[in-house]
Amino acid sequence: MAKPIEFKSGTLTAMSAVLREVDNVRLADALQVMMGGMGEFFAGEPTIIDLTQAAQIPERVDWTGLTSLLRRYGLQPVAVRGAPDFLHDTARRAGLAVLEAQATEMKPARAAPAEPVDVPPPAPVPQEAAGQEAPSALKSMIVERTIRSGQQVYARGCDLIVLGAISNGAEVIADGSIHCYGPLRGRAIAGAQGDREARILCSNFGPELIAVAGVFRTFEKGIPAQIGGKAAQALLRGEADKQSLVLEPLQLN
């Protein structure tokens, strides 16, 4: 007879919402700017509220308001990390688990549920001779076809090179830069683990959404005329704490 309940060990991979300030009004304004008002953006991702980088933590936190704000964008807060002891009870009463201030595996932002695509890992770099190490080289994942609507490709720890198109409704994510040699029509997220040097480069610019190191931009009002359908790149420019996502045409001749 089957048991009514069983317990099995498992691993939950969760998004981390890293808060550098704990002010729901300012956070709401920041999310509005980052996401362009796109509700349900993250499509139900389990989320850890990370306070380890907060400059100041108030004596009281409106956990209910904070979790409601995150749910507005499709995040599902399940725990808080890095909260001082005096906030533990109120966090638990709000339904959040309390975690120690230690590293937890992070998952890059997703724009919508997507069908995973199996892509072989980058080929190892051959060694020049036995006993002699080959010089280190930047790894990259190469996809030699179009990524179609509903599909997702994630290049973990490296650049992503797509030799085909990225269709509307498709999503590509890379910890490094993204290079698209066909039309870019879907969503492209570079620097998924915070690499501010990452870029998005394509030969035909027309995405639904782009992001570099957590700085997002959407195009509900259309693509800027100077880069729409043309070769372009997206990258961060400015001081370290005041960087903005800029779009630039690429001169290929």
Whole-number pLDDT of residue 111: 40
Contacts 24+ apart (CB under 8 A), 99-107: 99/48, 101/52, 104/14, 104/16, 104/48, 105/11, 105/13, 105/14, 106/14, 106/15, 106/16, 106/193, 107/13, 107/14, 107/15, 107/45
The residue ranges of every structural domain in the chain are 15-99, 115-122+137-249
Check: pTM over 0.85? Answer yes or no.
Answer: no
Pure H helices in the chain: 24-35, 63-72, 88-93
Topology of domain 115-122+137-249, CATH? Pectate Lyase C-like (2.160.20)
Instruction: Look at the block and give the residue holding tokens 């959040």.
Output: 96
CB 153 within 8 A of CB 143: yes
Q: Is it true that 15-99 and 115-122+137-249 share their CATH fold?
A: no
DSSP single-letter state for residue 194: S
**Per the CATH hierarchy, to which homologous superfamily does domain 15-99 belong?**
ACT domain (3.30.70.260)
pLDDT digits (tens, 9 = 90+) for 150-164: 888 888 889 999 999
pLDDT tens-digit readout, 47-94: 889 998 888 899 999 999 999 998 888 888 899 999 999 999 999 999
